[in-house]
A and B are shown apart, each in its own frame.
Chain A
């Protein structure tokens, strides 16, 4: 590493000193030359990461003043309508942070807004990865890591939401307590173990605090490190386009382009969060009052990322409880629990399911445009709809009161929508994708319609079609095509059940499909026919198979 010429400037000397001892030069050289592609949707994960950094910074400030104790005290702070009220030390210290510590309220609001943004950005990032097929080999494991990061984010959020021990958070904890107690046999023991006796007990805030400031952040940091390490190992994916292949990465080097860009972007995200926190209040705990197990206020909701679970509880039909040997299984709790766990399991396992169905063992570094994977996109849309209905289900009361509707009707509508919505979304999305693919095919083969109608010498009218340029064409035709797998006998000559399931799933995925324009078709369209021809080239009958 040592150079023949010794550095002369102070900076050069320092750099040389470090390089001789830490070989930073080679690290920087390798790392700095790492190429990242540029697209707005690749920055969503970054937003989540920056929000997390902001969470750690603002959270550290809050730990200096927050006291996670459930001991009783009398409030003597500045907020008049609570003066003299009996409350826990946790709530009183949260009020002090809000009213009596300089900058405390801003920090609390920064922390809370950043938390909402953290999970939202992570969720959107996850959707981007899903809809572009970025989870395919070799990135299936990183999808799993990301999935657990999202869960950890939810956990961090919920434990934080519960800390101030105000009426709202106490109600939230009470619901969790009820859910735990609803689990047959072991529920009550788990609950009393967690709360240190009967709810609310005197210990839960301190336990949530340990989870919130040590255990969950440590898990997030560890997972984040693995997540980023895998990004470096796998290299970043890129969207299809000219010169972009599965074996390259088209973009800019980390040094100096992305270091500068990402650094600036961090401050932009920080700026947005700070601006929101300075102008909009979030979780005004002083409004909710100290926790007391008897009152439950109207409009009691969890933060958004827990909303879908709350919605599942609200939408679950009552009167379905079953009794086994005198033990009541409360289906109003068990059904939402089972459904949400199943949903999460499908989300976590999706890359593996799809890889099994397609039987594709190739590495994919080129992303799919969502339309070019119609079934996956449709499944995603159905999943988003399912989640969104559950999510909206958590605000049935607010929907009813703000749109002047009957709460009961809103609830029933949501229950129906939970079943019908995903099916409709699947169908609409799949048809839309297929139509977009047909349009792409049309444009690739015949060019764009210009709107110029010309009369030929022999009297025929035609519209001039303008061929797309080569760069555009690349995007339109460069995608992988799958065909349904036939169930084939294995080496013993048997068709196993697994093979059959796989074949039918494969049919479900790829029965309706639009093949990309092949070279032959393209040449046919441009050689035998004039570009303005309106007649379509003959297609192989297998390429487009409609169901009917």
Chain B
């Protein structure tokens, strides 16, 4: 860019281009939404099959998939943060939401002996919904918002269901709030 005479149109064009270029690219999160969505859905269905078809009492070990996915996510965003050369309000809003989400999730996990597992899974569905509905709202990406509220609705239903049905509902909740919106996200462009 040089120091030529600027017309008003040039000025507006520069401003718009620059503002546009700083926009948060949610497509970059596609892989993370899909990974979590499929992993939770598969884990809950596997939990159901192992526990209620094969009557394996330690079926809940399938949830060890969660800390593994957590580590992968941590590395993914850690690297992204290391390479990021600007801080935006949206980055901060998104990470604030998801950090608070993780903390709330851990609190309910810790409190599970007190509140009982039959309440924990429905609470998780509501939490998943909060995460995706707020992220979708910030990004103006409707499928995440709709999926988030659907997940909360499924959570409400799950409070009244036995544990085996809850496992199905958990899979349904993440399919509507993570898997479907994840597939609807545009492919990430190299930036």
**A and B: real partners?**
no
Taking Cβ atoms with an 8 Å cutoff, the residues of B that contact A are none
Taking Cβ atoms with an 8 Å cutoff, the residues of A that contact B are none
